[in-house]
Structure 1
Amino acid sequence: MRLIVCSNSAPRWQDGAGLLPRSPGGLVPLLSTLLGRHGGDWVCTMPPDDAAASGDGSVDVTGLPGGVTLHRLRLPRAMTDRHYETVGVRLLLWLFHYLLDTARQPEAGLAEAWPAYEAVNRAYADRLASLMTGSPDEFVLVNDHHLFLVPEMLGRRAEHRGRIAFFQGLPWCEPDYFGVLPAHIRDRILTGLLCADVVGFHCTRWARAFLGCCARFLPGCAVDDGSVTYDGHRTRVTVAPFPLDVAMVERLRGEPATARWRARLEREAGGRRVIARADRIDLWKNLPRGFAAYRSVLEREPGLAGEWWFCAVATPPGRPTERTRELQSECEGLVAGLNERFGAPGRPAVSLVYPDLPTTRNCVVAALSGADLVLVNPTFDGMNLVAKEALYLGERARLLLSVNAGAYEQLAGHVTPVHPFDVEGTASVLREAMASGTAPAERAAARRLLREQDANRWLDRMMGVER
């Protein structure tokens, strides 16, 4: 099989060693694993802070071991800023997580930014078209909301028409909310995706929301449980949640940096039991409600602060906005207030832990493997890798998981559900979990489930191959 993938995100690599997946999951590690096994081409955007990012429209081509070739697009900074931040973050990222301020957004400036979004998608389509042959063993995988128009732009080139799949790593919102988009953008996104042969999601809920949007906004389309037929073309809609790379988790668990973090966190716990969470400081991760729920628990039973430590590992988003900066400030204020009321000198009730970038994954693995309880309560999340890591790593921890995380569908039989907008409900579930444990059989079954998943099985789902 010949694999061609594209993503806005760029991978890391090392001369002589090829691609270097560092995380146990997520888009870039998954694509790195697949290309490492199959070989092929990866089209991505040159990071704007890269010294070679001249923005002249050219392509930096790098050959790596294993038959992998990287094609990094050098695009003008003004174009990529409008594509990524104005459309990708402030419109689409917030839309799919139900975070738009609909009294003010979408904003009038979108009309100026949308042509840049189209231009970036066209640059990707041009490069992909130059690589595609249309052979039966060729599979083109387009990823995430930055590249919604690429399938349509490729589909118009009949001479290069091979099998094209699109994967949406974010949630997909319901038709009423999707309808806040300007009609020409809304319809363009849907018709662009329906030029792909396959559109994939992390869970059934997001797939059904997409099908509902097609049925609502595209007159003449035929929708069933697993496909959409529009303008004479049938698109299969599938559910293919990202797997956890168990081998990578085990490597991280055994690294010296993880041992150092484990020792540091044990010192800070000071013999107390540990509630852990690990998140980027993103709006939908719902950190403030998690802290508010714990505050409610301690207000009822202040003595628990002497028995438990809440360890919140936090990492910054790739490109912070004013809203994420405000969120970080809010979280720090909540933690300071909790510690003022319930902490003691040298023994904070709650800690925000900011790991250094090179050892971020080691810190997360150390926190999750040493926890007695893990809270994962996003308002909405495409999947949520931390939930899978917590189930695999935790020796004794119960996992409290938001019903709005995409991972909940897979893991429902092994977790305690949390309704993320209900602070007092979360507090009640949290307090009950603090008083109980997890049966070893439950954890063993969860680990078996996670071991059965791998990158090749994920790719089979996207390709419609049954094992």
Structure 2
Amino acid sequence: MRILTCSNSCPRWDADTIAPRSPGGLAPMVVSLLNEHGGHWIFTAPPDQPGVSSPIRIGDDIWLHPVEPGEELRHQHYDVISIRLLLGLLHYMHDTSEQPVFDSAMVDAWAGYEAVNQSYAKRLREVSDNSAGDELILINDPHLMLVPEYFAETQAGRASRMTYFLGTPWCEPDYFSLIPGHIRTRILTSLLRCDVVGFHAGRWVDAFLACCARYVPGARVEGRTVILGEHRTELIAMPFPLDTDVLDRMTEADATRRWQSKLAELAGGRKLMLRADRLDLWKNIPRGFQAYEMALERRPELAEQCWFAAVVTTPSRAAGRHQAYAEATEAVVRRINDRFATGGREAVSLIRPGMDDDSRNCVVAGLLMSTAAVVNSTYDGLNLFAKEAAYLLDDDASLLLSANAGADEQLGPFTVTVDPFDLGQTSEAMEKALTGSGGSGRDARRALLRDEHLDGWLTTVFRLG
């Protein structure tokens, strides 16, 4: 068995090893899969290594293939289409009174998206030997939704297994109609070239099936299978497994202990309520702080008893709406502290550990100390932090989890469900979590998450065995 992976996400590497650049998403799993099975990883060359485009051999069995699109294509493919248009669409982030606008600039950007997808497909054809049962092709990210089309159009037949896994939500058909008909049909038809299309949650599967039924001429939806011509595509819901062994080791790491000391000093004996997010629009950080502000208005003494901290990181190419969103988040934090900071201590804080190797230790340290953890995403494909919190929080701590996070499907029985748009309901849940008796079921949560394994995920998403 060997793995061929296409993703926008990229690793770090040296002569002998590869490592993920961040703890979330597909990258850590690809690193583990390649270390075990060998294979090829095709990815967009990182901005800090723009000149790298030749294949790179790691050890005996791993090959890395950076795709260097150049700055103009990178902007069109990544910034305009992948992030602003497609991620905005799948996360319901478009203000339809103003966007999206399909003018000549968007047409040009779409051509750039096509060009980058063609580059990926070309590289994939070069490394594929099309071997039945042995070669597994895994494509990830909305950045590459035309790769299956371009890859398949030159093949008379395909013996290898091909799966497309989307770590994002998928929107309902009415919202999917925000993009032009020829684009939405083409995206869906391309994905239906795969043997399996996977998501983290069943609700995203159902939305995808509804889009296929409405927008793909000739498609038949039978249960969770789509039949188009002679080809059958199976839809699955299979969340990424949590690597609990890594978390167990991190709880004892020196970097985690250093962060525990630092956070304990900042808390100053107060209860800690924690969240950890990248500053993406759908993470809903300002509303989370506003909900806590409402709790402080009802119970000003909470500022002396509790501390709400958000561990945040910045997207790699933050611009436009992301910058405005970060500024809005900082403004809410300043306002709350102007109103409720006491004894020289902030009532709420933004913690920016940066992208150093110990940034995840900061999150682990915080969860080990927390009375509550908060995830209030507007829409989220999974939310890894929710799974980490479910594993690390004590029995007397509560996990507040958005009903619109994919992780809610798996963790719902162990969490307090919050409506991400209802500040009053979220505020009351926060107050209860900080002043009540806390959660329960830690052993059951940990048993559920320890039962997950990468081999089981791989078997399911490729329908092996």
Match of 1:216 among 202, 214, 217: 214
Instruction: State the distance in 1 between where 2:366 and 2:60 align.
Output: 34
Instruction: State the distance in 2 between where 1:207 and 1:104 align.
Output: 28
1:35 aligns with 2:34: yes
**Residue identity opposite 1:352 in structure 2:** L
429-438 vs 259-268, greater mean Cα deviation: 429-438
**Residue identity opposite 2:367 in structure 1:** L
**Residue identity opposite 1:390 in structure 2:** A
3-state DSSP of counterpart to 2:288:
helix
2:182 alignment partner in structure 1: 184
294-303 vs 65-74, greater mean Cα deviation: 65-74
The alignment's TM-score, normalised by the length of structure 1, stands at 0.95
**Residue identity opposite 1:145 in structure 2:** P
Instruction: From the superposition, tell whether residues 439 and 78 of structure 1 become closer, same or farther in structure 2 (CA, over 3 Å).
Output: closer
1:56 alignment partner in structure 2: none
Instruction: State the distance in 1 between where 2:145 and 2:330 align.
Output: 36
2:152 alignment partner in structure 1: 155
1:234 aligns with 2:228: no
Instruction: From the superposition, tell whether residues 300 and 346 of structure 1 become closer, same or farther in structure 2 (CA, over 3 Å).
Output: same
Cα offset, 1:315, TM superposition: 0.9
Instruction: State the distance in 2 between where 1:269 and 1:216 align.
Output: 53
18-27 vs 418-427, greater mean Cα deviation: 18-27
Instruction: State the distance in 2 between where 1:439 and 1:83 align.
Output: 44
What pairs with 1:285-304 in structure 2 (closer than 5 Å)?
A: 285-304=283-302
1:383 alignment partner in structure 2: 382
2:118 alignment partner in structure 1: 122
C-alpha RMSD of matched pairs (Å)? 1.5
Deviations 1:296-316 (A, max 9, x none): 111011011111111111111
413-422 vs 130-139, greater mean Cα deviation: 130-139
2:87 alignment partner in structure 1: 93
Instruction: State the distance in 2 between where 1:215 and 1:299 align.
Output: 48
2:435 alignment partner in structure 1: 435
8 A Cα contact 2:162 2:462, kept in partner: no
Instruction: State the distance in 2 between where 1:24 and 1:312 align.
Output: 17
1:81 alignment partner in structure 2: 75
3-state DSSP of counterpart to 2:162:
strand
Deviations 1:108-138 (A, max 9, x none): 1211111111111111111111111111111
Cα offset, 1:7, TM superposition: 0.5
60-69 vs 152-161, greater mean Cα deviation: 152-161
What pairs with 1:400-415 in structure 2 (closer than 5 Å)?
A: 400-415=400-415
Match of 1:102 among 73, 92, 96: 96
Cα offset, 1:13, TM superposition: 1.9
Match of 2:130 among 125, 130, 134: 134
Instruction: State the distance in 2 between where 1:349 and 1:218 align.
Output: 52
The alignment-based identity, stated in percent, is 46
3-state DSSP of counterpart to 1:333:
helix
Instruction: State the distance in 2 between where 1:242 and 1:306 align.
Output: 38
Instruction: State the distance in 2 between where 1:390 and 1:194 align.
Output: 35
8 A Cα contact 1:201 1:238, kept in partner: yes
Deviations 1:388-435 (A, max 9, x none): 011111124210000100010011111110010000011111112222
**Residue identity opposite 1:423 in structure 2:** L
Instruction: State the distance in 2 between where 1:418 and 1:347 align.
Output: 28
Instruction: State the distance in 2 between where 1:104 and 1:333 align.
Output: 25
331-340 vs 200-209, greater mean Cα deviation: 331-340
**Residue identity opposite 2:429 in structure 1:** V
The alignment's TM-score, normalised by the length of structure 2, stands at 0.96
Match of 1:322 among 320, 323, 333: 320
What pairs with 1:59-70 in structure 2 (closer than 5 Å)?
A: 59-65=53-59, 67-70=61-64
8 A Cα contact 2:291 2:427, kept in partner: yes
**Residue identity opposite 1:142 in structure 2:** I
Deviations 1:418-463 (A, max 9, x none): 01000001111111222223455x0110011111112111111111
